[in-house]
Amino acid sequence: MFGPDICGTQTKKLHVILSYQGQNYPIKKDLECETDKLTHFYTFILRPDATYSILIDNRERDSGSMYVDWDILPPRKIKDVRANQIKETTS
């Protein structure tokens, strides 16, 4: 789901919610939408390298990486063989 949410005077938020394996994941950033009386054109670009851009009226408002700005994928971990060795020697 993507788009502005203007509700009264308090809520003026731009929603960017990705769906993956049946769950919804909102973006971790707080993004504000345009609040004037004009019509605006919102664009969400998701690239194959997991980067994205958000455009408002064809001007880039925000950009980043899916790995950083959403909690969709588990954090990347590098297996450290030495970690088990240290744990065994301290026990």
How far apart, in Å, do the first and last CA atoms of the chain sit?
Answer: 50
pLDDT of 75 higher than 80 = no
Is the pTM higher than 0.85? The answer reads no
SS3 89: helix
Contact 52, 46 (CB under 8 A): yes
**What pLDDT was estimated at residue 91?**
56
Examine residue 77 and state whether it is found in any structural domain, yes or no: no
Domain that holds residue 54: 2-69
Q: Give the total number of structural domains in the chain.
A: 1
Spatial distance between the Cα atoms of 17 and 46, rounded to a whole number of angstroms: 12
Q: Can you spell out the DSSP letters for 35-70?
A: -SSS---EEEEE-TTSEEEEEETTEEEEEEEHHHH-
Is the pLDDT confidence value at 22 over 80? yes
Residue 27 lies in a domain: yes
Residue 83 lies in a domain: no
pLDDT tens-digit series, residues 36-71:
889 999 999 999 999 999 999 999 999 999 889 998
Is the predicted pLDDT of residue 79 greater than 90, yes or no?
no
Indicate the range of 11-15, 26-30, 66-70 predicted with least confidence: 11-15
Does 88 map to a domain? no
